[in-house]
Structure 1
């Protein structure tokens, strides 16, 4: 179910705020031996716009949270996630992998490199140990079958994003020999992967985002096998503003003022309603971005 361009599927909310049915695509996956299971942390509530959008969607609602001027986004944890079927949920839209996937489709392939399967993606691996700098960000992605809501156990997730300067390792000038902010993990018993990273920049023309690809398992991911889902995570406005007010993100302040979810060329069709992460944490202590997706 791979795609290399933004989806043109009908969207979910009409002008009256009512949900529009979407055709769900089937999922073919092969559950293989579990490797390196990781404990899943609780899924936290969203902030402001996130809560409003979740209330309009057919997906799992998130508790509300608020971001204060002091740089803290407080959140009330939701009930613990379950691997059991929770009923159908909307399929996350297919999106472009962009020009810098490093999955072999755009020249560079990092997926077959020893060291790509890891949870902490802040540093490069191999011949370089350069560490990407920025506000700490933990990314928790929970993958469920859209038709049933069951956790996809043992799926492989490849995740990547830009650095604090808006550059992508392996592609951007000066960091062609770096491979930081890229990694592969296997979903645990709850269907969740967890990555330790830094908050990405807002670069010109795009809303702040994180790319990911879902594979049937890690073996297929590192072999650049068939992709089950390619999509993106959108980061919410309130936290973007807090992070970009800190040192090192100065260019993001200008760039974020020139783009919105409704004008972004990926999220504009539905405002990213199924892709906006729920947030908790603070600038000082770091943030956690959590999202549950249907595939």
Structure 2
């Protein structure tokens, strides 16, 4: 059985260097399932593929590799809609979800429903420093061809800080709960979080975790997950951000990775690569469409 998280349960396989004993083995069930789907689809489409030009994935990667000298960027791709609309790829929640599946459950704490996740809430008082980042996810109904927004759904979003640490879990920030929050989708199916640009840590491409729930009540009860996935960042934006103060440790770690070799995104990231706009001076916005 796949260890993926889904509406019937939660995955417990891990995704970073702190669980190095498991390594890539934990992700092999995911690869097997998604690779098999790709192989079956490829077999049925073989006559058509012969007439198509190669390099669509390379083009997507290339489009995310340019940057302007001023540090202002507009990179990434938007999830497709209409006839080629697909459900967002299911991914691991990682070892630090904070949703009760691996220890602490922040979802049941008062204050977790919020848009600004840069600060801890409750008895904690820490603030995550870094380049400002506004994250907007648009949750849509895949069965409608991604044309219908999912109003009244909920998204729980979390990611590491500028040093690559996860609140509630990593040494030094176990008493903090920043960079975690829940929002209910509006009439456009959107949720927006105010945050900071995350670090790149050993073994993983820069990313943001999120879970989609059918309602805010389900989210705050930590039950009935609809989808679990991750958002990826374009390389040119990462290079620009990591050249600023506070992100120096991310430079070398990013240089050791690529989207094509990351153990989560290597089997395809077109639907998960965020569209990024902004600059290091004014901050960035990241947008992604999430079909469920």
TM-score by length of 2: 0.79
Q: Which of 269, 285, 290 is 1:288 aligned to?
A: 285
Cα–Cα, structure 1 residues 86 and 189, in superposed 2: closer, same or farther, change >3 Å?
farther
2:234 corresponding residue in structure 1: 236
**How far does residue 67 in structure 1 lie from its aligned partner after superposition?**
2.6
- More helix per residue: 2
Instruction: Tell me if the contact between 1:13 and 1:19 (Cα under 8 Å) persists in the aligned partners.
Output: no
TM-score by length of 1: 0.78
**How far does residue 52 in structure 1 lie from its aligned partner after superposition?**
3.7
Aligned residues: 253
Q: How does 1:99-248 map to 2 (within 5 A)?
A: 99-148=95-144, 149=146, 150-248=148-246
* Deviations 1:106-158, CA, capped at 9 Å, x for gaps: 01000011000000000000112211000000001111111211111110100
Instruction: Tell me if the contact between 2:64 and 2:234 (Cα under 8 Å) persists in the aligned partners.
Output: no
Instruction: Tell me if the contact between 1:153 and 1:188 (Cα under 8 Å) persists in the aligned partners.
Output: yes
SS at match of 2:149: coil
Instruction: Tell me if the contact between 2:65 and 2:236 (Cα under 8 Å) persists in the aligned partners.
Output: no
SS at match of 1:108: coil
1:53 corresponding residue in structure 2: 60
Whole-angstrom CA distance in 1 between matches of 2:265 and 2:166: 20
Cα–Cα, structure 1 residues 214 and 251, in superposed 2: closer, same or farther, change >3 Å?
same
Structure 1 segments unaligned to the other structure (5+ residues):
22-48, 56-62, 79-84
Structure 2 segments unaligned to the other structure (5+ residues):
1-6, 14-26, 47-55
Q: Which of 227, 244, 263 is 2:261 aligned to?
A: 263
SS at match of 1:157: strand
1:70 corresponding residue in structure 2: 70
**How far does residue 50 in structure 1 lie from its aligned partner after superposition?**
9.6
